[in-house]
Amino acid sequence: MLTALLRTLDPETAHGLAIGALKHAPLPASPPDDPILATSVAGLRLTNPIGLAAGLDKNAEALGGLARLGFGFVEAGSVTPRAQPGNPRPRLFRLSQDRAIINRMGFNNAGLEVFAGHLRDRPTDVVVGANLGANKDTEDRAADYVAGLRRLAGLSDYFTVNISSPNTPGLRALQGREALDDLLGRVAEARTTAAPVFLKIAPDLTPAEIAMIVEAALAHRIDALIVSNTTLDRPPSLTSPDRAEAGGLSGAPLREKAHKALIHAAEAAAGRLPLIAVGGVDSGAEAYRRIRAGACAVQVYSALIYDGVGLIGRIKRDLASRLRADGFTSVAEAAANRTLTER
């Protein structure tokens, strides 16, 4: 009922109310996870492989509530060194007929100091990651990622270097090999803790570009690849009135593009680099399909807007059932026995 009510409001207003509810509502703890769902990613032990993608809790202010919803891990951010307002409103659009979202938020956030303060009070019963971004007006983008890594060292369980948002001009250029080598080399030098560092890429890349990024990630000791961010494409199947708005498209229409990007990444990585799948994951069947394509974990976000937080439990129950039906004893075993067969 709450999800339906929020969908009647302006999307950004609804988002703010949802964060407020997660901060203050006395939410009950979710039931214990089925043991078959326990897994690990880059040394992080997870009770289940279903994570929250970055973008919902930009300032890490609602981690207490999010930890009680049943996620195996929660990624907060994106956070930039300095606070910034983001792009002018309206900048968030709900494409209800397509079960999709378009956003051009522009890394709106309160900055590293506020983010760090919230992380100091974070719950300890869920793995928390910090998604790092760069300020819009920064000339040396790599320096912003280094600043985030250094300021949040010891406060976050893992870090994600987000170079794939389409809403900060020039950011995706960091996915080119020369710029990527410079960025990842400086990130590697700045690492002072054992917390793993992930790299989040765009879905709008060719197989050759994905393969290049995989090799660069391996060369610079990146611990996992998140595949993938929102897309700039506008599939002809879109029917919602706001389908032509500028920004990144997420949700159901991104599903097949993100799945194909994952397959290309898995082929290039050949088991050498853990992969986390995101983009159009909205069911246990889809989570299982990504795992069978080589992902060791998945993330959700847009589907929660349409299906509510009960979706998390449904995905976990269905995933556990599918693992057992196919004779697997763990998520890792299913991911290792990668198949390109459509399920």
Residue 4 confidence (pLDDT): 64
Q: Which of 222, 20, 60 is nearest to 155 (CA)?
A: 60
| Beta carbons within 10 angstroms of residue 261's beta carbon | 28
Q: Residue 1 has what pLDDT?
A: 53
pLDDT tier for residue 26 given thresholds of 50, 70 and 90: confident
Give the span between the Cα atoms of 295 and 274, in whole angstroms. 7
Q: What is the pLDDT of residues 127-174, one digit of tens each?
A: 999 999 999 999 999 999 999 999 999 999 999 999 998 888 888 888
Question: Widest CA span of the chain, in angstroms?
Answer: 52
User: What pLDDT sits at residue 3?
Assistant: 63
Once rounded to an integer, what is the mean pLDDT over residues 224-248? 97
Q: What is the pLDDT at residue 342?
A: 40
Exactly one of 78, 164, 165, 250 is catalytic; which is it? Answer: 165
Over residues 264-296, the pLDDT tens digits come to 999 999 999 999 999 999 999 999 999 999 999
Q: Which residues contact 268 (CB under 8 A, 6 or more apart)?
A: 207, 210, 211, 214, 215
Q: Are 157 and 129 in contact (CB under 8 A)?
A: yes
Q: What are the tokens at 169?
A: 């001009």
CA distance readout (Å), 71 to 126, 245, 315, 320: 8, 31, 11, 15
The label of the residue with tokens 């032990």 reads 45
Residue 151: half-sphere exposure toward Cβ, Cα within 13 Å: 22
In terms of Cβ atoms closer than 10 Å to its own Cβ (0-12, 13-18, 19+), residue 213 is: buried
Sheet containing 248-251: give its strands across: 92-95, 100-103, 248-251
Q: What is the pLDDT of residues 76-124, one digit of tens each?
A: 999 999 999 999 999 999 999 999 999 999 999 999 999 999 999 999 9
- In CATH terms, the fold of domain 34-336 is TIM Barrel (3.20.20)
240 is catalytic: no
- Residues ≥6 apart with Cβ < 8 Å to 297: 39, 41, 46, 49, 50, 51, 72, 73, 276, 277, 331
CA distance 187 to 161: 9
Q: What pTM does this model have?
A: 0.95
- Mean pLDDT of the 294-322 span: 98
pLDDT at position 11 over 50: yes
Q: State pLDDT tens for residues 203-230.
A: 999 999 999 999 999 999 999 999 999 9
2 has a pLDDT exceeding 70: no
Mean pLDDT of the chain: 95
